[in-house]
Amino acid sequence: MNLFLSLAYLFFIGSVLGWILELFFRKYFSGSNPEHKWINPGFCTGPYVPLYGFGLCILYLLVSLGERVSLTGSTGGTALLVLAMAACMTGIEYIAGIMSLKVMRVRLWDYSKLWGNINGLICPLFSLIWAAMGAAYCFLVHSCVRHLLTWLENSLAFSFVVGLFFCVFLVDAACSIHFATRLKHFAEEHGVIVKYENLKLHIRAAQRAAAQKVHFFFAFHSERPLAEHLLNAHEAVEMIRSKRRSAEEKRSRS
């Protein structure tokens, strides 16, 4: 039971911190957001990204296991542990991405412009970033996490907060999956993959152009029907592709 509670706490903390990290990354470093707008990241509506919650749980379990088998006592053992962390995080990222692509026909992120990518879902650069984060967790964070978990296990008030979080999260996840099925029907009908973040930006731009209220958390809420936004976004993408093909044909002729 203590392990279950610890993982529940870690999932909550990792999901929220991951949301904050993604929030700043998508504003300042994402190539799909050239205007550097604040975008609510992730698949769900609320301020959490479950991928990071699962990731923090796995990092905690791996380092705890490494301590038990004395991996962290040597340089080679620690390096092996960090590699295992990077591999696990990359694996989680790929599984989550391929599930959204194959099942829901939705792309949540896109690394297709980065070297060595696989399906635009994972790439060496982000595997290195996961390795760096794993090393930082192993050397700097894990001991603090253990002390924090000891305090949290004795805090009934925080247990209530975590319980409330999971209630909201499960409802949010169910609603988000239902919404994704609507996107899936459109994607299958038109033979496309819907890019989640691009659709959010398109709806935001349309709302600003029409002087309508922009919703940060409810990014897909609009006075216009969702199908209309999807069609307009699809037409805009097709127009860009057509222009690119024309430009390539002109270059090839010259």
- What would the DSSP string read from start to end of 179-243? HHHHHHHHHHHHT--EEHHHHHHHHHHHHHHTTPPPPSSSTT--SS-HHHHHHHHHHHHHHHHHH
Asked if residue 184 lies in contact with residue 105, where contact means CB atoms within 8 angstroms, the answer is: yes
Total structural domains within the chain? 1
Rounded to whole angstroms, the Cα distance separating 242 from 236 reads 10
pLDDT at 209: 87
| 106: enclosing H helix or E strand | strand 106-107
> Could you tell me the residue range of the domain that residue 169 belongs to?
2-253
Report in angstroms the alpha-carbon separations of 1 from 4, 5, 149: 5, 6, 13
106: β partners: 194
Q: Which of 221, 230, 196 is nearest to 43 (CA)?
A: 196
| 148: enclosing H helix or E strand | helix 142-153
Q: What is the pLDDT along the chain (254 residues), one digit of tens a residue?
A: 588 889 999 999 999 999 999 999 988 887 777 788 888 998 999 999 999 999 999 999 999 999 988 887 788 888 999 999 999 999 999 999 999 999 999 999 999 989 999 999 999 999 999 999 999 999 999 999 999 998 888 887 888 889 999 999 999 999 999 999 999 999 998 888 998 988 888 898 888 888 888 888 988 888 888 888 888 877 776 765 666 677 676 777 76
Tally of CA atoms within 13 A in the half-sphere of 41 that contains its CB = 25
Rounded to whole angstroms, the Cα distance separating 109 from 168 reads 24
User: Hey, what are 127's tokens?
Assistant: 């595997």
pLDDT at 247: 67
pTM for this model (two decimals): 0.90
118: β partners: 122
Angle, CA 93 vertex, CA 20 and CA 215 arms, to 5°: 40
